Amino acid sequence: MVKFYMIAAPLFLLAAAPVQAQQANMTFFITSTPIGNGGNLGGLAGADNQCQTLAQAAGAGAKTWRAYLSTQADGGNPAINARDRIGKGPWTNAKGGVVAKDVADLHGPNALTKQSALNEKAEVTNGRGDTPNRHDVLTGSQPDGTAFAAGDDKTCKNWTSSTQGSAVVGHSDRIGLRDDDASKSWNSSHGSRGPDGGCSQNDLKSTGGDGLLYCFASN
């Protein structure tokens, strides 16, 4: 007589399945790892590739991913606004939570918090009070998601330099040194600075960052 036995799936596999499904459907995340060369991201193309690569590893590579970054007008090239690169929304995190319904909501009363601004692995990014603090996310943008005027470099030479300029960052946990709008801004809190000038990997880490990016599915 042949006997058949039911083998129960391990509990950790049952728990992982829904998360993996949500990761495949996610349309927003913070990068879990930096490119690692300070503000030199390889331009917008290099930053977009980082988003695409991490999304692919998380099972969401079928979408077109864009980094939330602005560039400034330079050498005859027009400025590019971060808000114009990321599609129309809505955007959901790796656990299925909606962080913003559309572009207007994203730059208004969005639902971005430390708990909702997850990375592509559905993990919370370290913020103020954690070790190390990684809440400074590169944007080079004004609060409304538009580029800064040409002149004072706020994008590390449009994301091509780790030795010159500075980069405007936002606080992914919406917490800063003061209880003001800048400290609570997810996309435009302050410029990077540090012993090397502002755009090296060491500079980014010295003020509470790691060269992380916001990534949005644009389609």
| pLDDT for residue 133 | 98
Which residues pair with residue 119 across a beta bridge?
Answer: 30
Count CB-CB contacts under 10 A for residue 21: 11
Please, are residues 72 and 147 in contact by the beta-carbon 8 Å criterion? Answer: yes
C-alpha–C-alpha distance, residues 213 and 204, integer Å: 12
* pLDDT given for residue 19 in this prediction: 56
| Closest by CA position to 126, among listed 35, 201, 30, 192 | 30
Report the chain's C-alpha Rg in angstroms. 19
- Taking the chain (219 residues) in consecutive chunks of 10 residues, what is each chunk's mean pLDDT? 51 50 88 98 98 98 98 96 98 98 98 98 97 98 98 97 97 93 97 94 96 98
Q: Identify whether the C-beta of residue 162 lies closer than 8 Å to the C-beta of residue 199.
A: yes
Distance CA 69, CA 210 (A): 15
Beta-strand pair 209-217/136-138: parallel
Question: What burial letters (b/e) apply to 102-136, b meaning 16+ CB within 10 Å?
Answer: ebebbbeebbbbbebbbbbebebbbbbeeeebbbb
Task: Confirm whether pTM is higher than 0.75.
Answer: yes
pLDDT at 12: 44
Q: What one-character-per-residue DSSP string does 77-133 give?
A: BPPB-GGGSS-S--EE-TTS-EEESSHHHHTSS----TTTSBBTTS-BPP-TTSSS-
- Domains, the chain: 18-217 (3.10.100.10)
For residues 171 and 188, what is the distance between their CA atoms, to the nearest angstrom?
8
